Amino acid sequence: MFRYLIRRILWAILLFLVITFVTFVIFFMAPNNPARAMCGGDQASPTCLKTATEKLGLDKPVYYQYGLFLKRLVVDHSLGTSYATSQSINETIKEAAPVTASLVFGGAVLWMIIGLSVGIFSALRPRSLIDRAAMVFVLVGVSAHPVWIGLIFSYFFGVKWHITPIANYANFFGAPPDSGLPGGPAQWAYHMILPWMTFAILFAALYVRMIRANVMETLNEDYVRTARAKGAPEQRILFSHVLRNALLPVVTMLGMDIGVALGGAIFTETVYQLPGLGRTAVIAIQAQDLATLQGVVVFATIAILFFNLIVDLLYAWIDPRIRLS
Amino acid sequence: MALLEVKDLRTSFRTEDGVVRAVDGVSFSVEKGQTLGIVGESGSGKSVTCLTIMGLNSRRNTISSGEALWKGKDLLSAKPSQLRKIRGDEMSMIFQDPMTSLNPVHTIGKQLVEAVQLHRDVTVRVAKARALELLKAVGIPKAEARIDDYPHQFSGGMRQRVMIAMALINDPDLLIADEPTTALDVTTQAQILNLMKRLQDDFGSAIIMITHDLGVVAETADDVVVMYAAKVVEHAKVHDLFQRPQHPYTWGLMGSLPRLETDTERLVQIPGQPPSLLRPPNGCRFHPRCPYVMGVCRTKEPQLVGAERDPSHLQACHLDAETKDREGSKLVDATMAETV
């Protein structure tokens, strides 16, 4: 088990190096001059450009620049400063990440509740009315674009029925005292209801489909028949024999999806004006602020690798075939 | 009273192509401590017969009729909860493929303990002691250490032993073995069959041995039911069946057994394929493949009746008694000549 863990961690480190290097090269090749962005765009003075070029190491080869970037990241734990605003990117991410995390984790809880309950029920009663309704929901959920869903929800729940707010984020731990913004857990959840629903629908649909298929397949396994032959009641068969096997692939998917989503749920954040990572990335792109964009990418990479690692460990814990081989 | 008495059992599956009659009017009985062999090709309905008795067919698309009297009580009309009490306790089953019949995420100890605790109100410790006892009885080496292992850490033969241990753990009156040795290699097959015989002596369980292998039947069974295309074509004591086989299909099965002594290079096979159970042939279901086919076979279905010379030897064939005896003994003589 310990060796397995070490192996997974070494893999994660290697992957991190490869991914950051590739993104770095892509940004390096982009037709864009960071020094010019730093000095205020087209009106940049030659002296400013020169100092900035030296400071950023732009006159050096790409591997040297990547080395600098890596050193700064590993030794100083710094993602650098924004080309556009000169703000610390660490700070930007630190502000945006909790917003995205709120959205993603809350959404994940919601989509898992829907996915598990509807998926399992559909699998147990295939072709029933509820199963058919669930499949229609899956079709709609997979087809409808989150922006469209977001706008529809905003219109009905917010504008028409005045049930929920339709924009902005409320800090879970309370807003700054003199800002006049809403804050605290209740306001936080209240503001997140629509984003959670919007964000969760696509995943809920995918998970209903996947859980239904997995449970149905597992129900046909020989060992489930063995359990029936032993005289086990259906409920026990479902929980002890079916679900543990059927949910193995779901654990993998969940870890991957959460990891990926933490990089920024661009559509949902944009519709509800949530200052998360997705929106940060969009703004950075518009400002040609590659340093900030790269900060978001690096953070997303770390998030994905971290959740992959957790999935690997969880999987080994659930499935003895992996743990012991 | 017979332990299990099956009367006119019929099971059909609704499919998109129509109704498949997988079991069509099967009757037999199993006495206490005896072994009944059910022989037939794949798809002849032998497994479905037993799954129906156990109540293990998926309920949605299955229609069953007839009776399966277990100690006098009908299992087909029993409530699921009553069936559940019988399954795994009084009556248990082992399956063809030991590689997939155990749950991969639980230790075998846990699965054995579950089998005990589903039917006995005992602590885990007591149940585990019983599990250990059975693992030793089925010949798992170092059972104390292996009880906490997972199924994937066992070989196929060892897993089938675990399955047998699980089936016998509550001391059942009847053990249904659905091709228990088919998925195993030949040396392991012999070991498992010997083990089952020995355990039958120890536990006194009756056994229904489902197989397509006449050799297995000859070695283990007291009575034999030969099934073809969802129906019973011959039913006799094992000795009578091998001495005076009455049905051309049985002759075909016996003729296709491989023998070391003969010089023939190729195995004799029954020509053709088993019929589709969606649209079975008229008359005798074996007639399209039967070398002795007569006009009547194509139109009239033969009834399962006692042979002229021995009324307890049931067979369903239109051939006259003389031909049957002659052809049957010809085959037996040939077999005997080779083995002597």
In chain B, which residues fall in CATH 3.40.50.300?
4-225
Shortest CA distance from B95: residue in chain A: A226
| Model pLDDT, residue B340 | 46
Give the confidence band of A23 by pLDDT, cuts at 50, 70, 90: confident
Using DSSP's 3-state secondary structure scheme, residue B121 falls into coil
| A232 with B101: Cβ contact below 8 A | no
Q: Which of B100, B101, B119 has the CB atom closest to A231's CB atom?
A: B119
Q: Which residues of chain A neighbour B95 with C-beta distances below 8 Å?
A: 222, 225-226, 229
Which residues, numbered 215 to 234 in chain B, qualify as contacts with chain A under a Cβ-Cβ cut-off of 8 Å? none
B56 interfaces chain A, CB cutoff of 8 Å: yes
| Model pLDDT, residue A319 | 83
Q: What is the DSSP letter of B288?
A: G
| Model pLDDT, residue B264 | 57
Model confidence pLDDT, tens digit, residues A38-55? 676 667 777 777 777 777
Q: Which residues of chain A neighbour B167 with C-beta distances below 8 Å?
A: 229
Q: Which of B85, B100, B115 has the CB atom closest to A223's CB atom?
A: B100
Give the confidence band of A324 by pLDDT, cuts at 50, 70, 90: low
Q: Which residues of chain B neighbour A241 with C-beta distances below 8 Å?
A: 103, 106
Model confidence pLDDT, tens digit, residues A220-271? 999 999 999 999 999 999 999 999 899 988 988 898 899 888 877 889 998 8
B340 interfaces chain A, CB cutoff of 8 Å: no
| Model pLDDT, residue A3 | 81
Query: Which residues lie closer than 8 Å to B70 by C-beta, 6 or more apart?
Result: B3, B4, B86, B90, B91
Q: Which residues of A touch B (CB under 8 A)?
A: 221-223, 225-233, 240-241, 244-245, 318-321, 324
Q: What is the CATH number of domain B4-225?
A: 3.40.50.300
B88 interfaces chain A, CB cutoff of 8 Å: yes
Q: Which residues of chain B neighbour A244 with C-beta distances below 8 Å?
A: 105
| Model pLDDT, residue B8 | 95
Q: Which of A222, A229, A240 has the CB atom closest to B92's CB atom?
A: A229
| Model pLDDT, residue A31 | 66
Residue whose token pair is 């905003």: A154
> B170 to chain A nearest CA, in Å?
10
> A159 to chain B nearest CA, in Å?
48
Task: Choose the mutation target among A230, A314, A324 for the interface with B, i.e. most B CBs under 10 Å.
Answer: A230
| Model pLDDT, residue B266 | 62
ipTM of the complex: 0.88
Contact present, A154 and A194 (Cβ < 8 Å): yes
Most confidently modeled of A15-19, A111-115, A173-177?
A: A111-115
Alpha-carbon distances, residue B222 vs A180, B35, B204, B219, B268 (angstroms): 90, 5, 14, 9, 27
Contact present, B40 and B247 (Cβ < 8 Å): no
Q: Which residue has the higher pLDDT, A29 or A114?
A: A114
Shortest CA distance from A316: residue in chain B: B105
Q: What is the CATH number of domain A95-323?
A: 1.10.3720.10
* Bridge partners (DSSP) listed for residue B226: B39, B234
Q: Where are the domains of chain A?
A: 2-75, 95-323
Q: Which of A221, A223, A229 has the CB atom closest to B56's CB atom?
A: A229
Q: Which of A225, A233, A320 has the CB atom closest to B105's CB atom?
A: A320
Task: Choose the mutation target among B101, B119, B170 for the interface with A, i.e. most A CBs under 10 Å.
Answer: B101
Q: Which residues of chain A neighbour B93 with C-beta distances below 8 Å?
A: 229
B87 interfaces chain A, CB cutoff of 8 Å: yes
Shortest CA distance from B54: residue in chain A: A229
Using DSSP's 3-state secondary structure scheme, residue A44 falls into coil
> B103 to chain A nearest CA, in Å?
5
Give the confidence band of A59 by pLDDT, cuts at 50, 70, 90: confident
Q: Which residues of chain B neighbour A320 with C-beta distances below 8 Å?
A: 104-105, 107, 150, 152
pLDDT along chain B (340 residues), means of 10: 93 91 94 94 90 85 92 92 94 92 94 96 96 93 94 93 94 93 85 89 92 90 95 94 92 75 64 87 92 92 90 93 86 66
> A216 to chain B nearest CA, in Å?
13
Q: What is the DSSP letter of A81?
A: B
Q: Which of A223, A231, A319 has the CB atom closest to B118's CB atom?
A: A231
B131 interfaces chain A, CB cutoff of 8 Å: no
Q: Which of B54, B105, B153 has the CB atom closest to A229's CB atom?
A: B54
Size of interface A-B (CB pairs under 8 A): 73
Q: What is the pTM of this model?
A: 0.83
Q: Which helix (H) or strand (E) holds A11?
A: helix A2-29
* Mean pLDDT, rounded, of chain A: 86
Two tokens at B163?
């399955």
Q: Which residues of chain B neighbour A227 with C-beta distances below 8 Å?
A: 103, 114
Give the confidence band of A325 by pLDDT, cuts at 50, 70, 90: low
* DSSP per-residue letters across B157-225: HHHHHHHHHHHHTT--SEEEEESTTTTS-HHHHHHHHHHHHHHHHHH--EEEEEES-HHHHHHH-SEEE
> A1 to chain B nearest CA, in Å?
16
B108 interfaces chain A, CB cutoff of 8 Å: no
Model confidence pLDDT, tens digit, residues A306-323? 988 888 888 888 888 877
| Model pLDDT, residue B333 | 78
Give the separation between CA A233 and CA B79, rounded to whole angstroms.
Answer: 13
Q: Which residues of chain B neighbour A231 with C-beta distances below 8 Å?
A: 84-89, 118-119
Q: Which of A223, A225, A318 has the CB atom closest to B56's CB atom?
A: A225
Contact present, A254 and A108 (Cβ < 8 Å): yes
Q: Which residues of chain B neighbour A321 with C-beta distances below 8 Å?
A: 104, 150, 152
> A260 to chain B nearest CA, in Å?
29
Maximum CA extent, chain B: 67
Annotate A110-122 with three-state secondary structure: HHHHHHHHHHHHH
| B88 with A229: Cβ contact below 8 A | yes
Q: Which of A225, A230, A321 has the CB atom closest to B104's CB atom?
A: A321
Shortest CA distance from B101: residue in chain A: A223
B61 interfaces chain A, CB cutoff of 8 Å: no
The length of chain B in residues reads: 340
Contact present, B95 and A226 (Cβ < 8 Å): yes
B118 interfaces chain A, CB cutoff of 8 Å: yes
